[in-house]
Amino acid sequence: MLKTKITDMFGIKYPIIGGTMMWISTADYVAAMSEAGGLGVLASANYKSKEAFAEAISRMKSKTSNPYAVNINLFPAMTQIDNNEYIDVMADNGLKFVETSGHHAPEDLVGRFKDLGMTWIHKCVGVRYAKKVEAMGADVVTVVGYENGGATGKLDLGTLVLVPLVVDAVNLPVVGGGGVSDGRGVAAVLALGAQAVIMGTRLLLTKEAPIHENIKQALINASETDTMLIMRSLNATHRVLSNDAAKNCAELEANEADFMEIYDVIKGENAQEMYEGGNVDKGILACGQGIGLAHDIPTLSELFDRTASEAEAVVNRFSN
């Protein structure tokens, strides 16, 4: 059994945290992650009103009694919601696990987290930022290496370097990720000193993932070289699947197109339509290099059980 400070802190079976994915990390999917033994994280930004978010929390409660967290999104958005409204709903429902992610630490929200007795996880991109949120009172820090899908940050550091640097720099439990797709990756990240891993891309290839089968087939056919970086000119670098939308974005950036031209390609509505309709070239699809290690579409429970068994076998091999 892979017992760590994180499994004890959150009361979860496996040291696996589901990466928050826009349009995908909905109540049913996140509940399935928690039911499978990991820590699911609900993306509050999927819900555009306090009422819609409250309905999602009610649905989570009906789907699982296992622990889960809520992500508070600090990234810029075309339609900004007051995050205090999400926190109100969390408080009303007695939720105690909150994750934040974005370009800046949530200085205006930390007091509320503490007053409500919440365990605060913050996702950041490097040592300086991890030390800052530790000083602010974070309970857990999450870092992901350059291999990951979605936002990569500015530092371009790989997982093998980034995770131990942060582990050495802070006195908090660290969650590490970036390219973790199987038990070997879990064992490696734990060996670097992390107390849990965060997985995102690999979870897209599960039966419960709420995306069209065409998208899953495109991902299962993709290799580790089928991703690319875009949006660096916007100070928002993302690793994504190399589809037509991503290539179009890269071309617009190279030609110094204005923001609204680029936004018309990368906007979330296109991604939502892609996930629902199955046109893999319609929108931007966050995807890490670990996609090259994903070769089947199991249930979340099957994936987590198998991943944990693989990790334990790696650890045992070195202990004999």
| Residue 66 near residue 93, CB atoms below 8 Å | no
Residues 251 and 112 in one domain: no
Candidates 92, 20, 79, 23; CA nearest to 51 is 92
- Across the range 169-176, mean pLDDT stands at 98
**Residue 129's CATH number:** 3.20.20.70
DSSP state letter for 44? G
Here the tokens at position 225 are 């070289």
For range 119-144, the mean pLDDT: 96
Q: What is the pLDDT of residue 231?
A: 95
3 state SS of 236: coil
For 238, the enclosing helix (H) or strand (E) is strand 238-241
**Under 8 Å between Cβ of 41 and 98:** no
Q: How confident is the model at residue 224 (pLDDT cuts 50, 70, 90)?
A: very high
The pLDDT of residue 39 is above 80: yes
For tokens 């790989």, name the residue: 158
- What is the per-residue pLDDT for 304? 98
13 part of a folded domain: yes
**Residues 95, 193 share a domain:** yes
Among 73-87, 200-214, 268-282, the range scoring the smallest mean pLDDT is 73-87
pLDDT given at position 221:
97
Task: Give a yes or no: residue 306 inside a domain.
Answer: yes
29-45 mean pLDDT? 96
Token pair recorded at residue 216: 């899953």
Residues 130 and 86 in one domain: yes
The confidence score (pLDDT) of residue 103 equals 73
- Same domain, residue pair 172 and 62: yes
The whole-number average pLDDT for the span 296-301 is 98
Name the pLDDT band for 40 (thresholds 50, 70, 90): very high
pLDDT at 77: 61
Q: Is residue 284 part of a domain?
A: no
Instruction: Indicate whether 154 and 81 sit together in one domain.
Output: yes
Work out the average pLDDT over 255-272: 94
- Residue 291 covered by a domain: no
pLDDT band per the 50, 70, 90 thresholds, residue 76: low
pLDDT recorded at residue 274: 96
Helix residue spans in 175-294 (DSSP H)? 183-191, 201-204, 213-220, 244-254, 259-266, 268-277
Using DSSP's 3-state secondary structure scheme, residue 60 falls into helix
Give tens-digit pLDDT for 24-34. Answer: 999 999 999 99
DSSP state of 39: B
Beta strand spans in 10-162 (E): 16-18, 40-43, 68-73, 97-101, 119-124, 140-144, 150-151
Q: Quick one: 142 and 261 in the same domain?
A: no
Q: How far apart are CA 123 and CA 83, in angstroms?
A: 17
Looking at the structure, tell me whether residues 115 and 238 fall in a common domain: no
Q: Are residues 170 and 78 in the same domain?
A: yes
What was the pLDDT predicted at 199? 97
Pick from 187, 176, 180: nearest CA to 311: 187
What is d(CA 299, CA 206) in angstroms, rounded to the nearest whole number? 5
What are the helix (H) ranges across 173-243? 183-191, 201-204, 213-220
Quote the CA–CA distance of 136 and 97 in Å, as a whole number. Answer: 17
Q: Give residue 131's pLDDT.
A: 97
Residue 97, exposed/middle/buried by CB under 10 A (0-12, 13-18, 19+)? buried
> Does 147 share its domain with 223?
no
Contact 158, 48 (CB under 8 A): no
The answer on pLDDT for 78 being more than 60 is: no
Share of the chain above pLDDT 90, in %: 86
List all residues 6 or more positions away from 256 whose beta carbon is below 8 Å from its beta carbon.
233
Tell me: the pLDDT tens digits for 240-260? 999 999 999 999 999 999 999
pLDDT at 192 over 80: yes
Has residue 15 been placed in a domain? yes
106 and 197 share a domain?
Answer: yes
> Do 98 and 20 sit in the same domain of this protein?
yes
* Shared-domain flag, residues 245 and 196: no
Average pLDDT (140-163) is: 94
Q: Give domain status of residue 293, yes or no.
A: no
Q: Which pTM does this prediction carry?
A: 0.95
Residue 253 structural domain: 213-277
> Is a pLDDT exceeding 90 seen at residue 320?
no
Q: For the chain, how big is the Rg over CA atoms in Å? A: 18
Cβ-based neighbours of 160, under 8 Å, separated by 6 or more: 145, 188, 192
Average pLDDT over the chain, rounded to whole? 94
Task: Look at the chain and report how many structural domains it folds into.
Answer: 2
Residue 252 lies inside a defined structural domain of this protein: yes
* Start-to-end C-alpha separation, the chain: 17
pLDDT at 79 over 80: no
